[in-house]
Amino acid sequence: MLVRPTDGCTTIRHQPVQETSIVATNHNKHDGRREGAVSRRSQFQTPSGQWAKRDAGTGRIMDVKADPKPFKGVRKER
């Protein structure tokens, strides 16, 4: 809120913050998990058995994993 006193100075008064505000957080930052999936990406398994990650916007292959496990937090294509 902006208050203009009669002496010509401009001062800013801050509104009080509500005590019940909810902040979005990941519960444990060091457990190796994310909350929700990675957006705009999908993964599929190549004929050789490796997993490849694809950008959903452009359709380009972004990365191919060397180990046989799929990417964490990326949805699988059907």
Owner of token pair 């801050």:
14
**DSSP conformation class of 13:** -
Alpha helices per DSSP H over the chain? none
Contact status, residue 42 vs residue 75, Cβ threshold 8 Å: yes
pLDDT the model gives residue 72: 87
* Residue 46 is assigned to a structural domain of this protein: yes
Q: What is d(CA 32, CA 73) in angstroms, rounded to the nearest whole number?
A: 11
Domain count, the chain: 1
What is the domain extent for residue 62?
38-69
pLDDT the model gives residue 37: 77
pLDDT the model gives residue 70: 96
Taking every pair of Cα atoms in the chain, the longest distance, rounded to a whole number of angstroms, is 78
* Residue 49 is assigned to a structural domain of this protein: yes
Nearest C-alpha neighbor of 10 from the set 1, 18, 19: 1
pLDDT along the chain (78 residues), means of 10: 58 60 62 75 95 95 95 91
* Residue 47 is assigned to a structural domain of this protein: yes
